[in-house]
Amino acid sequence: MLLRKSIAAGQFYESGFEKLDKQIMDCFKSKLGPGDMPVQRSNRKITHGVVSPHAGYPFSGPAAAWVYKEIAESKFPAVYIIIGPNHTGMGTAQISTTLANWEMPFGKVECDRGFARELISKCDFVKDDLTAHAKEHSIEVQLPFLQFANKDKLKDIKILPLCVNNYDLDTCRVLGDTIADIQEDVCVIASSDFTHYGPNYNYTPFLHNIKDSIYGLDGGAIEFIKKMDTKGFLEYVKKKKATICGAGTIAICMEIMKNLGIKKGQLMNYYTSGDVIDDYTNAVGYGAIKF
């Protein structure tokens, strides 16, 4: 069986088992994190979807901890659908999945191949393409947190990885309809950072009050997400030329949520990398949102 080997270990997160375990615990206990560890799982509490960042854990890990505390305390689903943007441009498909399992420091994560094959058969823009995933970090960075949150179900975790190369509103809607039709017992993880500001990102729409301006820009996008307004969200991103790397992943997540009967999203936490290092010359926004 094909294995997709870790490429972000030792860069975005610690590569050793014990060091990684401690790093994630520190994210939960961080002043920017939820402040405490997950409590016992409840079958009455169901998190259907989340938006989680994918930067290095010292920066975005505390925001991700908010999301995975919810996941750890919620009913265990049949499959976690993890949707990440294609930063590398590798692969040719509009949306790429893979039938490979994922080799991680906490152990192997199994792909739901049956789900992947059915989705490929029903959506002609979804292809089995390991190339798109080979050097892409946005999905991988979610997996150690997902494994940590499911220590009691470690060997039962199944994922459907989807790497988004390009999209439009119609694509998001078709994918949302199809996924919800195949399987309703899912938790969707939209892997996305928010605004990438500064010379490093060739994005400087404002030069003064940078922190407040980034908060305001991302806050506008988050309002559309909370209202589940996919069309409004994508139009806002286009109008503002917003550098939200996973705008497509968030849009797809919202469309799946609508098909599952979810009416609104909830922002749990938001901050920027500038808040971590007290420097906003180049800064990225991180939001933790649940549905």
Find out whether 188 and 49 touch, Cβ atoms under 8 Å.
Answer: yes
The answer to whether residue 86 is domain-embedded is: yes
Q: Which of 161, 280, 172, 165 is nearest to 235 (CA)?
A: 172
> Tens digits of per-residue pLDDT, 217-255?
999 999 999 999 999 999 999 999 999 999 999 999 999
pTM for this entry? 0.97
For residue 40, what pLDDT band results from cuts at 50, 70 and 90? confident
Does 1 have pLDDT greater than 80?
no
Find out whether 162 and 138 touch, Cβ atoms under 8 Å.
Answer: no
> Tens digits of per-residue pLDDT, 186-225?
999 999 999 999 999 999 999 999 999 999 999 999 999 9
- Residue 222 CA to residue 214 CA, distance in Å, equals 12
Q: Which domain holds residue 166?
A: 3-25+44-290
The amino acid sitting at 235 is E
Average pLDDT along the chain: 97
Span 20-34, average pLDDT: 98
The answer to whether residue 37 is domain-embedded is: no
The answer to whether residue 36 is domain-embedded is: no
The answer to whether residue 80 is domain-embedded is: yes
Number of domains into which the chain is organized: 1
The answer to whether residue 31 is domain-embedded is: no
The answer to whether residue 95 is domain-embedded is: yes
- Residue 43 CA to residue 50 CA, distance in Å, equals 18
- Residue 37 CA to residue 26 CA, distance in Å, equals 9
Does 288 have pLDDT greater than 80?
yes
Span 264-290, average pLDDT: 98
Give the count of beta carbons closer than 10 Å to the beta carbon of residue 179: 29
Q: What is the CATH number of the domain that holds 148?
A: 3.40.830.10
The answer to whether residue 109 is domain-embedded is: yes
> Tens digits of per-residue pLDDT, 114-162?
999 999 999 999 999 999 999 999 999 999 999 999 999 999 999 999 9
pLDDT of residue 45: 86
The answer to whether residue 188 is domain-embedded is: yes
Task: Report in angstroms the alpha-carbon separations of 181 from 103, 110, 184, 216, 236.
Answer: 29, 22, 7, 36, 29
For residue 44, what pLDDT band results from cuts at 50, 70 and 90? confident
